[in-house]
Structures are given as C-alpha cells and as structure tokens.
Structure 1
Amino acid sequence: MDHGLQVVLVLLAVAVMVVVLCRVLHLPVVLGYIAVGILIGPHALGWVADAPQARHLAEFGVVFLMFSIGLEFSLAKLRAMRRIVFGLGSAQVIVTLSVVLGVAVLFGLDWRTGVALGGVLAMSSTAIVSKMLAERAELNAPFGQQIMGVLLFQDLAVVPLLIVIPALASASGDLTYTLVAALIKGALALSALLLFGQRLMRPWFHVVARQKSPELFMLNVLLITLGLAYLTDLAGLSMALGAFVAGILIAETEYRLQVEEDIRPFRDVLMGLFFITIGMMLNVREMISDIGWILLVLLALLIFKAVIVAGLARIFGVGWGVALHTGLGLAQAGEFGFVLLTDAANAHLMSEWVGQIVLAAMLLSMLIAPFLLMYADRIVRRLSPDAWMYSAMQMHQIAVRSMSSQGHVIICGYGRSGQTLAKFLRDEGIRFIALDTDSSRVRSADAEGGEVVFGDASKREALLAAGLMRAKTLVVSYNDKPSALKILHLAQELRPGLPVVVRAHDESQIDVFRRAGAAEVVAEIHEGSVMLATQALLMSGVPLNRVMRRLRESRARSYRAFDGFLRSSDGETDDVDEDLQLRLHSVLLDVLDSAVGMSLEQINLEALEVEVNAVRRHGVLGSRPSGDMVLRAGDVLVLLGQTVALAEAEQLLRSGK
C-alpha cells in the first residue's frame, strides 16, 4: 500500500473513533484529537511517523480555520464591542507578550524567542471556551461578553503575528529591514486583495449562483479560499493570511451563510487532523523527564495570565468578580497558539527542548480549561468578597420584585417567545416574573402586569429569589437544551410538583425533557409544521371546521395536557361561564395525605366529575392512568375539571372528605 495513503487512512480512522468517543463522554473534541495524536505519534506507539503528508493536511486545516474566522468577521460586531475588543483585547495581548518577553530574557533566551513565545502564550482557546460558555448559558453574562470580546481580538492579532514571527528568523543586522518589509508587504497584499476582491467577489458569486449547481458553488468556494492562500504564499506570507482575506471578502456577500454551511465539513475534518499532528509533536518520554519545568511553565501560564487579564479587566471598569471570572476563562493556551508555535519552530526561533516544554504546558492548560470554567463561580467567591456582594445584591433585587407575587408564572428568558407569553399573561391578568441575562433587553422591557429582571434562570438562587416556591408555573421560553435541563433538575429538586413547560427545537428533544420532569414540551418546528399544514388545507378548499378539528386532533396527540379536552371541545363556545369551563390543576401528594396508598378507583374522583389527566412519578409523566394505579407520596396528579370540582377533588385527596 502507498505510504501516503496509509498515513491518511490511519489519521481518518482515529479521527472517527475519537469524535465518537468524545461525543459519548461529552468532552471537547479538540482535546480528544490532541490525546490521540500523542498516542499514535512517533514518540509513543509510532503508528504514524512525522510524515510530510500529515503536515500538509495540517496546513490545510489551519487554512480553513483562518477562512472561518474571516467569514465570521463582522464590522457591526466589532463596532458594538469595540471597547472590549480593541481596549481590553489589545491590552491583554500586548501585556502578555511583554511579560513573556521579559521572563524569556531573564532566563537567558534570545529576545526574538521571547516575542514568539509571547505571541504563542497570549492566545486562548476559542473552541473550548465558547463551547463551555454556550453550554452553561453564560455567553450573555457580563464576564461572557468580556471573554468573547478578548477572544475576538486574539483571532485578529494572529494575522500580524503570522507575518512577524517568520520575519524574526532573519539575521540580526537585517532584522529591522525584514520586519518593516514584511509588514509593508503584508499591508500591501491585504489592501490589494481587499480593494480588488470587494469589486469582483459579489458579481462573480452572482454568476456562479445563477447556474444553480451545488457542485459548482462548492468548487468556487474552494478555488477562492485555496487560490488566495496560494497568492499570499507566493508573496512570502502565510497561506493562512490569504484564507483569512477570502473569508472577509465572502462575508460581505449575501452568500456568507451558505458558504459557512458548505465549508464546515472540510474545516472540521482538516482541523481535527491538525490537532492530531500537534499531539504527534509531543515527546512523552521527554515530557516525563522534564515534568518539573513543564509544571512550572503551566502554573506560570495559568496564574500570571489569569492575573493579567483580571487586572486589565478591573482597569477597564468591571467589578472584581467579573474580572476574576474573565481571567479564569482566558488563562489557558489556544488553538492559534499551536499555529504560531509551529511557525516559530519552523523558523528555528527556539530550541527543540524549549518547544517541547511549552507545547506540553499548553496541552495541559487546555485539558484543565473546562474544569477552571466549571468551578469558576466557587473560585471567584473565595477570592473576591465583592462577588458575594454582587450576587447577593442581584438576588435581593429579584426577590424584591417578586415579593408581592403569589401563584405567578416564572418566565425563563425574555426573548420573542417570552415576550409573547408575557402578553398573553397580561391579557389574562396573571402576574409573572421574567429572568433574562441580556441587560439591554431587561432595560427596554415593557413589564406591565409583571416584572422583568436581570438574572440567570439556570442558577438555584435566581429561581428561589423569583419565588419558585410560590409560583404556579415555570416556563423555559428559550431554545437551549443544557440550560433547560439544568432548570428542570433544579425545579425537580426544589419543588417537584411545579408544572414546567419547556420550549424545544424539534420533536427529538421531547422525550429527553419529559424524562427530566417537564410537564409539557413545545417543539417549535412541529408547531410551525402544524400551522403550515392548516394554512395549506384552508387554501386547498377544506372547510374551516374540518381544518380546526384536524388542528385540535394534532395538538391533542402532541400535548398530553390537552388530551381529553380538545377531543370534546367542538361544541364549546367562549361565552360559557368561566367557572364552568374545564381547566387543569396539579396536586402534589404528601406522605400524610389520605390518598396515599389508595388506588384511583377507590378514591373515585369521577363522582366529582374530575378526570385524572396524568400522574407524574419520579419525574416521569404517565398520561391517562388506569383505575388500579396505587398512589404514592411524591406523585403529582394532573386533574381536569371545573373550578369548584377541582377544589373538592384536592380536599378529597388531602383529607379523604
């Protein structure tokens, strides 16, 4: 078998296995790729030698990574976050680079090595940090915005560093000239590509798109990306720089989203191979022998970088709690650090021994990063007294706003869905309190009939302050599965009988949320498809009453709370006395209630004209239970009946009278 094909097959095989394993274990895929690279590399099992084929694939991975960064480059986003991006972000990169340069010179290293290492260690992991913040619903938190702003500047700072680091390899006498020439060459190349590319890109994409050929569109994207990468490589600059420019040019067209979707498989596969080759660079035997130096560099990186970022964030006007949170979130090394380290090693700016120590410390810092983010709250509360005070003040503000509410609805998230729900509640005269982490949305909220406050609904303290123990219903109005599951877990722990309604993306998430304790799950794609079908039936000439019957039948099947109600609602009208209309009511059985130990048939709620619509036991909801079901303490009965009958039914369940 051809050796090149063998290398590719081995890399693809381990890539498939590591992705499956990381998905099952819910670990960042980047760390899995690096670990596999260490295992199969020339310094461990030796399945893949340090082959040029692997390095070429890794270079293409960097090209597509930079293309994706350019594609996400947004002038509007930069303007909105300019103070964080160009203020805190630039300060973090410059100060970190300067500190590393000083330490390097202190340890007897060449200043050019110090500059290269400073650029390498100034980077943080966008992949790990952004994923963790998204999973923990912290992207819109104050520290989340600080972290994302700094990461955005780091992505931009890679561009000049890709030009400067290779130029540092020139002889000392020609260094100034080489650096200036490289920067001027880079500026001219970027200007020419951006100037002429802007004029040509949109018309050319119009021509390609009019052919309505997915293959042609994909080929065109690859041609532009790799073509510009080749041009910058010919100009003596990095291929990644040309790919970055290609991304910026396409981002200005209306085809950005389609390109992003088409290019993602190439980017993810090649980036995975890049991280595998990074792992292959690590010599495990040397790592064990130099473990003292590695741990020293690791501790220095995590501690000093966190302190630098926190101190700068404090200078830029945020509280110590947010500043420390930001520092812990950015303390680790990043993906672009590996790119720059590879460039520095190729330019012979550092010895192999130094490169191995720095590489090992960077890898370990990325392994530690998820745990730092996971326990950041506890660390910040121990280190910062005002973090406690800020959290207590925030909870106090929520509690003051919810204090007068009894039997209210808690809305988690005040986006479009939350605002629509709030309008319905206002029209019905039902009090509500909405929690949202977007401060601008909270400030501009029209909260007549309720309260809209700043707070993270996935935190225990925020839910309790919002009156969880007095609320009638809890609604998760935003589409975020990890956050919704966390809220459901807290609701089941703190108040298991409270009905929780959850918004889901599609029907695949319904069973997951129901098992977690949701009383009802609304799948937005299903709802949209149902309404689409009803409109199509109406336009096709189907009588209105038949269309409404179909709509009711569909919703009765999808929403168990309506089962038995929608099926019999054809003849009902809106002018019936409200007390005579059927409604749902939940009853949580206590160990002292007389119904505990009795079957539904023995209790005979039907005599009161009350139907047991469902019983939730241990977080699992069973609809339309049989009469021989024996009730236990902790069961939640969902009853359907008229107002007076429901009150009598609850009295019967409690006291037996």
Structure 2
Amino acid sequence: MEMLLLGDIAVIFVLSVLVLFIFHKVRAPAIVGFIFTGALAGPQGLGLIQAIEQVDVLAEIGVILLLFTIGLEISLKDLMQMKKYVLVGGTLQVALAILAVYALLIYFGQPVGTAILIGFLVSVSSTAIVLRIIQKKSEMYTPQGRTILGILIFQDIAIVPLMLAVPLLPGAVGEVPESPLIILAKGLALVALVIISAKWLVPLALYHIARTDDRELFLLSLVAICFAVAWATSLAGLSLGLGAFLAGLTISESQYSHQAFGNVLPLRDAFTSFFFVSVGMLLDVNFLLANPLYIILLASGVMLLKSLIAGATVAIMGLPLRIAVLVGLALSQIGEFSFVLSKVGLEYGLISQELYRIFLDVAVLTMVATSSIIAVSTKLADATSRLPRFQRLNRSLPANMPDIKTMKDHLIIIGYGVNGRNVALSAKSEAIPYVIVDIDPETVKSGLRNGEPIRYGDATQEHVLLSTGVKSARVIVIAISDRTETRRMTELARRLNPDIYMRVSKN
C-alpha cells in the first residue's frame, strides 16, 4: 500500500506539472489545472490513481495547512472587528440560501427533508478555493476580503449544527448522533482554551523554542500546534479546518507569526495541491458527458442564485454595491464541506445515488468556474455600480463633516486603518484640515465617535471623491490594501485635480 501511495503521489505531481505548464501558457487559473489533473488521473478518467482514500487524507492535510496560514494572518483583534461580517453576514447568507433552495425544490415536488438537505449543501461555499485566491491577490485586508472571510468563518462553524440537523430531517433513517448540547459545550471549552493559549501558553513556548535558533525545531513546533488543535476540534465534533484556523489564531497573537507563516508556506502549497486534485477526482466524467447541458445549466443556476443571495446579504449590511457584487461572485460556488454533508445525507437516505452523482458534478463545476469568475468580478462590479439604476446604492451615508465648500488646500485620507489613523493624527497635531473616507460602516461609526471628520463611501466612485472637495484639496493619501482600487482612485483623483499631491500608503 505504501508503494502504491508513493506511485500515486508521483503521478499527481508529474501530471500536475505538465497540466499546469500548459495552463500557464494559455493563462488559465492554476486551481482549475489541479482539478483537471484530478479528473484526468482519477477513477472516472484514466484511472492512474489507485490509493484514493490515502490521497483524500493528504488533501485534508492541505486544507488544514491552508486554514492554519489564514489564522496566522488574522489576529483575535481582527476577528473581533469582523464580528458583524461573521455573525450578521454569515447568518443571513446561510439562512437565505437554505430558504431559497428549499422553496425552489418544494415547488418542483421534492420531499421536505431532501429540499432542506440540498439547501444545506448549497448554502456553504469553498473556504479552501476562495481564500487561496484572495491570498494570492493580496486582498485579505480589503473590505471585500474581510467580508468574504467573515462569512466563510461562519459557514465553517455552521457545518457542525447542519450536520447534527441532518438525522433530524423528515425522511431520515438511522440513529441520532451525540447530543448537540454536549458538542456545543465541547466547542465553547475549546474556544476558551484557544484564547488562553494565544494569550499565555503559545507565546511562552515559542519563545523558548526560538531561543534554540533551530529552524527544524521551530517548524516542527508549528506543525505540532496546528495538528494538535485540529485534532482536538475533531474530538469536540467540530471540523479539522476550523481547528487549524484557531491554531493559527493562537500564534498570530505572538511576535513569531510572520516567521511562522514563512516556514509553513511551502508545506501549505504542496499539500493544498492534493485537495484540488481530490476535488477533480470526484467528478463523474461519464455522467457529465451523458448529461452536459443539464449539469451545466444546474451549475450556472446555483452560482447565479448564490451570487444574488450573498450580494443581497452584503447590501443589507450597508456596504456599497461594488463590494456586494465582488463578495457575491466570490461565494458563488459550492464548498468542500458540502461533500461531507452530502455523504451524511446519503447515509440517512435523504438523497438517492443518482441525486448524489448530480450534486458532485454540479459542485465540482462550480468550483472549477470560481477562479475565472473572481478574475472578471472586478470588471463586472465596476460595470454594475456605474449603471444609472444602481447609482443610489453607491451614495455615501450622511456624517458630521466640515463644510467642504469652504475648505481649501486640505488633506484627503482614504482608508482609516492603521496608516490612515497615523496620517490623521499627524494632520491634527499640525492643525492641517483633513477629511477621511472609508468603506467600512463600523470603521466610520468608530471614527465619528472619536470626533473625526470621516464619511462613508467608495472612493472609486466620482461623486464620493467630489464630496471630499478633491478639486480644491492639496494632498490625498490612499491608505488601503487593494491594489486594483488604489489604481482606480489615483487615476480618478488625478483626473479631477491634476495638481494634487498624491501619496499611496498600504494599510
């Protein structure tokens, strides 16, 4: 079996190199290349991979390492600032998706239990694929990045109650698992342990390990923390991925987070390739070729429905239309944890074998399309936000602002993160008049409480920038992380005021 697994690993890597080389030449996304490799080498393709269960284990390790690195990049403080996106955004998105799918399937005559289960499956998006793309685009700290991450975190947490609910659905056959209250108690105890570890235990342990100046020991310590916490969460009935994310959070609070991220990155990239290959192996090629139009239409319908629901959720939270479109398109696919849910549903007799095959093909197709959808999402968001019918959704919210008409030679600060706050503090100490614009409602609310001249708005929109008095301003500082938006803002500001002095300071 060991030699069989080794042979399969060799096949995966060699075939991946060849496929990715071709995909690179035609400028196709790498993730699609990995999924295509899995479909090609899997049991439904050329049948080159035999140790499928072992490859799935390697894929699980890839997801664990991916979410571990995400946790390293996000501190507990950052997570608390995203609570609105996690609690409000996540709850709305999952609930609306389940209700919409349920209503559609009941209309088409599906049983109640089946309709609810498929609603569960569709409500979850792919944490592994979406966060990988966001990381590569350096958009983790952008408004859309924070919103996407918050909703995905909620989805990962929601997997537990969704799985517990499956045996309780109408039509389910089988025994009910462990009490939800017991699992909830275990989860709360685990979260408390993570907070304590992040505050005292992990920084102290890493301090003594770092003093040895042994790189191998430091790396092994990181891997040990990652898998130990992931294993503990699985014992509590939670997902391994969520545990890995929590493990990353414990280290992110220490001064060793940046070194840790650099050390784990090569391991993450190697193992996440197995995850995407394993997704491709799930594709039933024969069934897809026998029903291509049916599967493609279903996949397109799912992505459209999910985009509309996620976009509406973001709009309800008060974010601009452009961000709503970006988030909606990014969360339009079916997630990897839905495969786990679908197997549970199959075991309890809620879906038939044929419906299970249809779901797998539809889910994989939505995953394959994700990279391309996100690649064009910026252009689609810009085009949508410029439509006259939607202009009212781009207007900035009222705020206590100075009289822009009387301001001259003032400073405009776009983005009120760390750098934006420092610029505002310096301007205040030098008695320089300034105006702040930020796209995060929570940040604006906090700034207003502190007496800052801040307003809510998307500074890529001309009317928002004009409302700051850009034509009479002397300096504009762009302190955001999104490179695409920064470029658009600089072009727009330069067009509105060719003489303005511009400074870009990444947040």
**Band of TM-score, shorter chain:** 0.7 to 0.9
How many Å apart are 1:138 and its aligned residue?
A: 10
> What are the Cα deviations for residues 425-445 of structure 1, in whole angstroms up to 9, with x where unaligned?
788887665544342465367
Residues 539-618 of structure 1: matches in 2 within 5 Å? none
CA RMSD of aligned residues (A): 5.1
Q: Helix, strand or coil for the counterpart of 2:38?
A: helix
What is the aligned length? Answer: 492
Q: Helix, strand or coil for the counterpart of 2:394?
A: helix
How many Å apart are 1:96 and its aligned residue?
A: 2.6
Higher relative contact order (CA 8 A, sep 6+): 2
Other-structure match for 2:294? 293
Which moved further from structure 2: 42-51 or 195-204? 195-204
How many Å apart are 1:122 and its aligned residue?
A: 0.8
Q: Distance in 1 between matches of 2:84 and 2:117?
A: 26
**C-alpha spacing 1:400/1:347, structure 2 compared with 1 (3 Å):** same
Indicate conservation of the 8 Å contact 2:34/2:277, yes or no.
yes
Other-structure match for 1:217? 218
> What are the Cα deviations for residues 37-56 of structure 1, in whole angstroms up to 9, with x where unaligned?
33444444555457334222
Q: Helix, strand or coil for the counterpart of 1:354?
A: helix
Indicate conservation of the 8 Å contact 1:92/1:312, yes or no.
yes
How many Å apart are 1:348 and its aligned residue?
A: 7.8
> What are the Cα deviations for residues 179-227 of structure 1, in whole angstroms up to 9, with x where unaligned?
3x26466446546766778579546556645544332232233334435
Q: Distance in 2 between matches of 1:461 and 1:27?
A: 36
Residues 347-496 of structure 1: matches in 2 within 5 Å? 347=347, 350-366=351-367, 367=369, 369-370=373-374, 371-372=376-377, 374-379=379-384, 385=389, 387-392=390-395, 402-404=404-406, 410-413=412-415, 415=417, 417-418=419-420, 434-437=436-439, 438-440=443-445, 443=448, 453-463=455-465, 466=468, 474-478=476-480, 480-490=482-492, 494=495
Other-structure match for 1:585? none
TM-score, normalising length: structure 1:
0.58
Q: Helix, strand or coil for the counterpart of 2:332?
A: coil
Structure with the greater alpha carbon radius of gyration: 1
Q: Distance in 1 between matches of 2:58 and 2:414?
A: 45
Indicate conservation of the 8 Å contact 2:395/2:457, yes or no.
no
Q: Distance in 1 between matches of 2:8 and 2:60?
A: 15
How many Å apart are 1:273 and its aligned residue?
A: 1.5
> What are the Cα deviations for residues 537-576 of structure 1, in whole angstroms up to 9, with x where unaligned?
xxxxxxxxxxxxxxxxxxxxxxxxxxxxxxxxxxxxxxxx
**C-alpha spacing 1:122/1:275, structure 2 compared with 1 (3 Å):** same
Q: Distance in 2 between matches of 1:405 and 1:27?
A: 49
TM-score, normalising length: structure 2:
0.72
Q: Distance in 2 between matches of 1:407 and 1:73?
A: 38
Structure 1 residue identity aligned to 2:94: V
Indicate conservation of the 8 Å contact 2:156/2:242, yes or no.
no
**C-alpha spacing 1:439/1:427, structure 2 compared with 1 (3 Å):** closer
Which moved further from structure 2: 434-443 or 125-134? 125-134
Indicate conservation of the 8 Å contact 1:120/1:340, yes or no.
no
Indicate conservation of the 8 Å contact 2:93/2:309, yes or no.
yes
Residues 124-523 of structure 1: matches in 2 within 5 Å? 124-126=125-127, 127-128=129-130, 147-161=148-162, 174-175=174-175, 178-179=176-177, 181=178, 183=180, 186-187=183-184, 190=187, 201-202=201-202, 208-209=209-210, 211-227=212-228, 229=230, 240=241, 243=244, 246=247, 258-309=259-310, 318=318, 321=321, 325=325, 328-329=328-329, 332-337=332-337, 339-340=339-340, 343-344=343-344, 347=347, 350-366=351-367, 367=369, 369-370=373-374, 371-372=376-377, 374-379=379-384, 385=389, 387-392=390-395, 402-404=404-406, 410-413=412-415, 415=417, 417-418=419-420, 434-437=436-439, 438-440=443-445, 443=448, 453-463=455-465, 466=468, 474-478=476-480, 480-490=482-492, 494=495, 498=499, 501-503=502-504
Other-structure match for 2:59? 58
Structure 2 residue identity aligned to 1:89: G
Question: Which protein is richer in helix relative to its size?
Answer: 2
- Runs of 5+ in structure 2 lacking a partner? none
Q: Distance in 2 between matches of 1:88 and 1:258?
A: 32
- Runs of 5+ in structure 1 lacking a partner? 506-523, 525-657
- Over the matched positions of the two proteins, sequence identity in percent amounts to 25
How many Å apart are 1:60 and its aligned residue?
A: 1.8
How many Å apart are 1:249 and its aligned residue?
A: 5.9
**C-alpha spacing 1:27/1:373, structure 2 compared with 1 (3 Å):** farther
Indicate conservation of the 8 Å contact 1:15/1:273, yes or no.
no
How many Å apart are 1:279 and its aligned residue?
A: 1.6
**C-alpha spacing 1:339/1:65, structure 2 compared with 1 (3 Å):** farther
Q: Distance in 1 between matches of 2:256 and 2:265?
A: 14
Indicate conservation of the 8 Å contact 1:491/1:498, yes or no.
no
How many Å apart are 1:328 and its aligned residue?
A: 2.9
Indicate conservation of the 8 Å contact 1:15/1:33, yes or no.
yes
Other-structure match for 2:86? 85
Structure 1 residue identity aligned to 2:217: L
